[in-house]
Structure 1
Amino acid sequence: MTKLKLSAIPDDRPVKITVELPAAVHRDLVAYAEILARSNGEKAPPDPAKLVAPMLQRFMATDKGFRKEKGQLHQAAS
């Protein structure tokens, strides 16, 4: 069997989930989208739903406790 430099390609297809947000959180997402558009010189704000994934990604990337535990979880699985 040939040994290649690449192993299996990870499944990077988006996964659609449905969540219910408190009305106040939705209002804040709408306001955030408006402020973001204004600060970037855009005429229309982005769909607030499009902000959720980058916000969660940023949150998890900057959560030191999560990163530490995630690293230990991956080590245990290996």
Structure 2
Amino acid sequence: MAKLKLGAIADAKPVKLLWICQQIVHRDLAVYADLLARETGQSIPDPAKLVAPMLARFMATDRAFAKARRKSQPAQGKG
């Protein structure tokens, strides 16, 4: 089996977010949660818990986003 892009899910302070998705996306999240549970040995009873780590991973690997984010932040350490 190929290694999944997500690893064990960190237990971080949650922020409530209302998120609505298509049924197919929810079904795929449930399948992903099952596969990830088998790979990591970590139970994931709610597939919605995958949304935040998936988005974080996506944004962390999006070069255009990183570049735009750097440009929008003020320079630090200068002055």
TM-score (norm 1): 0.70
Which amino acid counterpart does residue 24 of structure 1 have in structure 2? I
Give the equivalent residue in structure 1 for 2:8: none
Give the equivalent residue in structure 1 for 2:60: 61
Q: CA RMSD in A?
A: 2.1
Equivalent pair of 1:37/1:46 in contact (CA under 8 Å): no
The higher-RCO structure (CA 8 Å, 6+ apart) is: 2
- Cα shift at 1:30: 0.2
4+ residue runs of structure 1 moved beyond 6 angstroms? none
Computing the radius of gyration from Cα coordinates, the structure with the larger value is: 1
Q: How many residues align?
A: 64
Give the structure with the higher percent helix.
1
Give the equivalent residue in structure 2 for 1:28: 28
Give the equivalent residue in structure 2 for 1:72: 71
Quote the Cα distance in structure 1 between the aligned partners of 2:16 and 2:69.
23
TM-score (norm 2): 0.70
